[in-house]
Amino acid sequence: MKSWWLGGLLYFSIAGRAAIPVGGWLESNINKVMSATEPQTVLVRLKRRQKEVQIKGYGLQKEKGLRFVASSSGFNHVTVKLSQLKEHPLWQLSWNEGRREQFVGKKLQIKGSSLSISGETVPKSLHLMARSDGMIGVIAELSIEEYLAGVLPEEMPALWPIEALKAQAIVSRTYTLFQLQQRRQQDFHVESTVLDQVYKHKQPSLELLPGQQRVQRALRETTGVILKDTEGQYFPAYYHADCGGKTEEPKNVWGNGLKLGTVMDESCPLSPHGRWQKSLTWSQIKKYWPLKKASDEWISLSISKRTPSGRVRLVQLQSQWGETLNIDSQTFRRKVGFHKIKSTLFYIESEKKSVVVFGQGHGHGVGMCQYGARFLAGRGLSYQKILKHYYPKAVIFEPLLLQDQMFEKNFGSMYPSISIQSYGPSVPKGY
């Protein structure tokens, strides 16, 4: 069988028969598989509360009614502020050439190229949302794959094994689609911070560094691949840095969620978060949790309940005058700082002047352990096996595999000797 490209179509010639143009068929059908039910864009909240927003870029356009009006084709910048006109938000725009504009509306949309906000590069389409407190929220609209290109190197080191990067790409893609479905009625779908997935916009570049090449490869070779449950719904693909030896169920962390199954992970003690500790003075603890009587003092912090995996579910504070306070472990982490109390897999030693928290692992412990994925990939496991290890109840949905199946279904019986080959840019060995 011979094959070649002509006019954007892939032709196959089989055993002297006329060549069959299948590129258009493949493209149209794979697009149906990949896009008929899957959203193509995502709304990412970049800024929660801004008094004003300074946007710079080329060819800035603002929404006016249902169409976009360009300010200029060259470099420009605009400062956006918000005030109230009776019960309606009033947008105030100040352009660098001195022009000023005002109009009423809940949302302002701005587009352009090479955009930045206060020196930070951002995607080319922005939604500025008027908050009820008079502040401005900044939300970016971009394609899911462009978004993932800004997530993957922030969530996992780009020089880690390629199969771990592929697993991360699939998990991040699935997590995005899951949250998009959960928040489809909201102004945004995902945060750009650790509250969801860390995202930093990546400008397109002709010269890609080795790490960028690996990120692109991981995304390209897993295009459209996601995790679903047995009913075809997006799988809640949570993940974290280091499980500390065993993963956790969502219900034990957030109080709800599907039972995903837990797994043991022998590699976690090898990570930088294998062991950690944090000291807290009683005065710090009193600042986080004030007592009913100012003259009273906390004298004991202990663990009152653990989950089946050994993680802390509740801690208890006791004062010298008998006041008792039970604190959920995730609330405890959030108050003290997620970067200080890295996980809920810890024990406590109370001393006279302070408390020492000794722990292991990093993150909530649900789903894929990133350090574990790195270890498994280093042992030669494929991304499919890594995902099956951490998500035993998930189904790996691979549209490109369906493409092969559709091709065989439509042409295989007529031309049984057909085989499908993949075409694409070569990738340097070692990546």
The 10s digit of each residue's pLDDT in 163-192 is 999 999 999 999 999 999 999 999 999 999
| Nearest CA among 310, 317, 374, 372 for reference residue 343 | 310
> Between 399-407 and 23-35, two packed helices, what is the crossing angle to 10 degrees?
140
Look at residue 344 in the predicted model and tell me its pLDDT: 95
Look at residue 141 in the predicted model and tell me its pLDDT: 96
Residue 267 CB contacts under 8 Å (≥ 6 apart), including other chains: 371, 372, 374, 375, 376
CA distance 394 to 386: 12
Per the prediction, the chain carries an average pLDDT of 83
Look at residue 81 in the predicted model and tell me its pLDDT: 93
Give the global pTM. Answer: 0.80
Residue whose pair of structure tokens reads 């955009």 in the numeric block = 115
Look at residue 261 in the predicted model and tell me its pLDDT: 82
Positions of the chain with pLDDT lower than 70, given as ranges = 1-38, 64-73, 85-86, 205-207, 269-270, 400-431
Q: How far is CA 167 from CA 60, 75, 161, 187, in A?
A: 37, 40, 10, 29
Residue 430 has which token pair? 């070692």
Answer whether 100's CB lies under 8 Å from 94's CB.
yes
Tens-digit pLDDT profile for residues 249-300:
998 888 877 788 888 887 776 677 778 999 999 999 999 999 999 899 999 9
Look at residue 98 in the predicted model and tell me its pLDDT: 83
Look at residue 430 in the predicted model and tell me its pLDDT: 37
Element (H, E) at 111: strand 107-117
Answer whether 83's CB lies under 8 Å from 92's CB.
yes
Distance, CA of 383 to chain centre = 18
Residue whose pair of structure tokens reads 């407190």 in the numeric block = 133
Checking DSSP bridges between strand 346-350 and strand 354-359, what pairing results, if any?
Answer: antiparallel
Checking DSSP bridges between strand 52-64 and strand 107-117, what pairing results, if any?
Answer: antiparallel
| Nearest CA among 292, 47, 92, 321 for reference residue 187 | 47
**Amino acid letter, residue 220:** R
CA distance 373 to 387: 9
| Positive or negative torsion for Cα 282, 283, 285, 290 | positive
Answer whether 62's CB lies under 8 Å from 108's CB.
yes
Residue 405 CB contacts under 8 Å (≥ 6 apart), including other chains: none
The DSSP letter of residue 278 is E
Answer whether 152's CB lies under 8 Å from 168's CB.
yes
